[in-house]
A and B are shown apart, each in its own frame.
Chain A
Amino acid sequence: MKLKRLTELSLLTAVALIIFVVELRFPDILPIQGMKLGLANIITVYAVFVYQPSETAMIVACRVLLGAMFSGTMISLFYSASGAVMCLLGMLILKKFLSLDYIWLCSVIGAIFHNIGQICAAMLMMRSTAVIWNLPPLILFGAIAGLFTGLCAQVLLKRMKNIKKL
């Protein structure tokens, strides 16, 4: 891997981590387990459309692992990891069918996959299907949050193109 590429990836990971840590300070909006804006996923969505799948996976893996360490809740690592894997798979597949104007749609579906992954992990961990009832409100809220992060990524992508031209 070229050094420049590696530096770009590490920078993106650092930015994602900063967003993640700042977001930890936000108060919870609604009392449903796992409901978060997921602003750090702006970077994930951006990376999906700009970098190779393997490079995106590296960013996400580092962010999830370090994020769990920074937030001090290692138990949540299992949930966020399964959510991130599902989200990434969904978005990487979808990316092939969508143009750059529909990044937001890709992000919305990524958010839905993320929530499905997390609930599956919760069902495995708790050995109970009761948590599945959290899924519909989580998907709804996640879709709104995903729309926002997706639009952010779309704007970011356009700006970054201009910057890279310089």
Chain B
Amino acid sequence: MTKPDKNTKIILIITGILLLLCAVLTIWIYRKPSGQRVLIIQNNQIIHEIYLASAKDQEIRIDAPGGGYNLIKIQNHEISIAEADCPDHTCMKTGILKSENIPIVCLPHKLIIRFAEEGEKF
């Protein structure tokens, strides 16, 4: 491998800084504590508002406007998607909603489940 010239060095340094920043952000995102108020949002509209502390164990079925469904499960004050008929099933694999910054997202059904502060709408 030849020695990096000036341009290559600059690009290397910028990339390094960017990646470092991302690493720090990733750690910060995953460590942020979770709240209590959970919003279920579909097509940019809040369709359910749940307070996990007082929520009973239940299952909520949400039908997507374009067909398809997501079955949301609340158990032991934790919320997750138990079942869905989207092609990728990423929403199910996300598991239990833990962090304020990582929502459960189902892109095909345009569904978002996330924590929100009191009074915060979006």
Please indicate whether A and B come from the same complex rather than being unrelated chains: yes
Closest Cβ–Cβ distance, residue B9 to chain A (whole Å) = 10
Q: How many of B's residues come within 8 Å of A, CB to CB?
A: 35
In the complex, whether A134 has a CB less than 8 A from a CB of chain B is yes
- CB of B108 within 8 A of CB of A137, answer no
Which of B23, B29, B94, B107 contacts A31 (CB under 8 A)?
B94
* B1 in the interface (beta carbon within 8 A): yes
Interface string of A25-36 (1 = CB under 8 A from B): 000100111000
CB-defined contacts of B33 to chain A, threshold 8 Å: none
Could you say which of B26, B93, B107 contacts A140, with CB atoms under 8 Å apart? Answer: B26
Q: Does B87 contact A (CB under 8 A)?
A: yes
Report chain A residues within 8 Å CB of B103: 130-131, 133
> Could you tell me the distance in whole angstroms from the C-beta of B64 to the nearest C-beta in chain A?
12
- The answer to whether A105 and B12 have CB atoms under 8 Å apart is yes
The tally of CB-CB contacts under 8 A between chains A and B is 89
> Quick one: given A98-B7, A98-B8, A140-B23, are A72 and B87 in contact (CB under 8 Å)?
yes
Interface of A is mostly: helix
Q: Looking across the interface, which residue of chain A has its beta carbon closest to that of B95?
A: A31
Label chain B's interface by main secondary structure. mixed
Residue A122 interfacial (CB < 8 Å) = yes
Q: Is A3 an interface residue (CB 8 A)?
A: no
A79 to B87: give the CA distance in the assembly, Å: 15
Count of A interface residues, CB-CB < 8 Å: 34
**B101 interface residue per 8 A CB criterion:** yes
| A54 adjacent to chain B (CB < 8 Å) | no
In the bound complex, how far is the Cα of B33 from the Cα of A117, in angstroms? 29
A99 and B11 form a contact (CB under 8 A) = no
B93 contacts which of A31, A125, A135 (Cβ < 8 Å)?
A31
Take A133-B29, A133-B102, A137-B26 as given contacts and tell me if A125 and B15 are in contact as well, using a CB distance cutoff of 8 Å. Answer: no
A interface, CB within 8 angstroms of B: 28, 31-33, 72-73, 75-76, 79, 94, 97-99, 101-102, 105, 108-109, 112, 122, 125-128, 130-131, 133-137, 139-140, 143
5 CB contacts below 8 A, A to B, read A97-B7, A98-B7, A105-B12, A109-B11, A136-B25
Footprint of A on B, CB under 8 Å?
1-2, 4-5, 7-8, 11-12, 15, 18-19, 21-23, 25-26, 29, 41, 44, 87-88, 90, 93-95, 101-103, 105, 107-108, 110, 112, 114, 122
**18 extra interchain contacts, Cβ-Cβ under 8 A, other than A31-B94, A99-B2?**
A28-B93, A32-B90, A32-B94, A33-B88, A33-B90, A76-B88, A94-B11, A105-B8, A109-B15, A130-B112, A133-B101, A134-B105, A136-B21, A137-B29, A140-B19, A140-B23, A140-B26, A143-B19
